[in-house]
């Protein structure tokens, strides 16, 4: 997955404009990034990537930066 693909996925799932998505965005800045929104993010990542590892960092990632770091750890995102 490329970083731009992740940004597009997040924008679609969170129902915000893609221009709002950047590495500094945190869950508390987007009202739709609540517990259900987070589940939707993880579900969409899982479907898009053909599975994501069982890693607590995905469950606790509360920012785009943390999602990218966790994806990078598992070599699921291109820099």
Q: What is the 3-state secondary structure (H, E, C) of 45-66?
A: HHHHHCCCCCCHHHHHCCEHHH
List of residues 6+ apart from 38 with CB closer than 8 A: 27, 59
Structural domain contains residue 22: yes
How far apart are alpha carbons 46 and 19 in whole angstroms? 23
Structural domain contains residue 23: yes
Structural domain contains residue 78: no
Structural domain contains residue 50: yes
Q: Sign of the C-alpha dihedral, residues 41, 30, 7, 17?
A: positive
Does residue 50 surpass a pLDDT of 80?
Answer: yes
Q: Which domain holds residue 19?
A: 3-73
* pLDDT tens per residue, range 13-22: 999 999 999 9
pTM of the model: 0.94
Domain count, the chain: 1
């Amino acid at each position: 997955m490329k970083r731009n693909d992740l940004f597009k996925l997040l924008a679609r799932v969170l129902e915000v404009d893609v221009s709002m998505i950047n590495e500094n965005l945190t869950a508390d800045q987007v009202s739709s990034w609540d517990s259900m929104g987070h589940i939707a993010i993880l579900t969409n990542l899982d479907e898009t990537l053909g599975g994501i590892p069982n890693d607590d960092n995905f469950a606790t990632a509360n920012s785009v930066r943390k999602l990218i770091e966790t994806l990078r750890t598992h070599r699921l995102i291109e820099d």
